[in-house]
Amino acid sequence: MATSFIKAQSPIQCQLCKTDVTLKWKCTKCELFMCENCKITKHSSEKHRVISVKDICKDISGRIKSLNLPEIVASVFNSYDTDLHGIGKVLCNEDDIVFFMGNCDFGKHKFIKGKLLKASLKVLLNYDIRCMDFSVNNKDEILFAPPPGKEIVAASASGTAKSIVHASPMVILAIHTTKHGELIIGMRDQGQKYPITEKSSRQVAIFDAEYKRKSVFEFDSTGKKLFNYAGRIATDSNYNVYVVDWMDNELRGQIIGMNKSGYKNFSYTGHPLFNTDDVPLVPMDIAVTSNDVIIISDRNNHTLHALNPQGELCGIQLTQNIGIILPYSLSVDSSGFLVIGCTSYNGEDDKAKMFVVKLLV
């Protein structure tokens, strides 16, 4: 990884007047941050609960301290500016190469191959790719599901593309390639996302290195559905599979851990003393270190969680304390550094940053 280079993140604007003024309040119903003037003039509804930003920070910091758990990040090693409003997915490759895409929530579908240099992020290629998730195989082909998400396409740097998996009538959500070349995908039926009904179908399927389907998982040992919406997938060195499972449109979620046979090992919805109803776990991505520590980005709470393979919380990090807000996408590089792609509060005005951090876990 390139030599250390740290820069502060840009100031957050009021989400109503969009000026660089001090944020003092948050509406817990609308998830809006605002300045003093906008609280009085633009958001005075008695039906909404507005609380002080200082109280939020103090409350979250206090909860984390009460857990008496080690931190996850040793130091911020580097930071990079991007022209994206949110980094929806980042994936590290060899030689400081990263593939990353814009956050689809903002309607931006940029897809970039870049190189992390000492003082900047160098763009090597821009791809004409639209997707919700992607992976890169051992041939450096990008695997993604273009809209409407019924098949996975493998795209090479030369511009050639071929279809490798057909999922119709299911819709492909998450895509992950293991270090052995196996492909794991999350899928759902074509009905409504939420709420989940008895007729809903939510699956995780495993394919071999030749993209032949090996197994499909949908239910646990009691016949209960394993997943609500498999948004991201990761694996460890023992072939265990970890799924970011979103439960509703607010992206409240859980982490499902299961073995390669589909047996559910655990579900993690956050620590009960930290992730309560007013501070729910909002997991956006998951990455696994070389020693099988599972790192989760809890975006809305500016927090990283570290789990062991049994689903037990073994570390937690308030990223605000190290200058990182809204951690979204995660990837561990070949040197063991964690790359964090962030999102921003103001979809049209703010620019997202990418950070490289040294881990303690």
pLDDT in tens, 226-263: 999 999 999 999 999 999 999 999 899 999 999 999 99
Residues with Cβ within 8 Å of 323's Cβ and at least 6 positions away in sequence, in order, are: 6, 8, 9, 76, 79
Verify cis geometry, omega within 30 degrees of 0, for the bond prior to 148: yes
From residue 94, alpha-carbon distances to 1, 151, 155, 159, 171 in Å are 10, 27, 18, 21, 31
Q: Name the band, by pLDDT with cuts 50, 70 and 90, for residue 278.
A: confident
The structural domains of the chain, ordered by start, are 72-359 (2.120.10.30)
Characterize the bridge pairing of strands 253-258 and 264-268: antiparallel
For the segment 6-51, what is each residue's pLDDT rounded down to a tens digit? 333 333 567 788 665 566 777 866 767 788 888 888 776 666 778 7
Residues with Cβ within 8 Å of 250's Cβ and at least 6 positions away in sequence, in order, are: 280, 282
For the segment 265-276, what is each residue's pLDDT rounded down to a tens digit? 999 999 988 888
Is 66 a residue whose pLDDT tops 70?
yes
Query: Mean pLDDT over residues 196-209, rounded?
Result: 96
Taken as a whole, the chain contains a residue count of 361
- Gyration radius of the chain's alpha carbons: 20
For the record, the structure tokens of 120 come out as 């900047």
Contact 68, 316 (CB under 8 A): no
Query: Mean pLDDT over residues 119-135, rounded?
Result: 93
Does the predicted model carry a pTM greater than 0.75?
Answer: yes
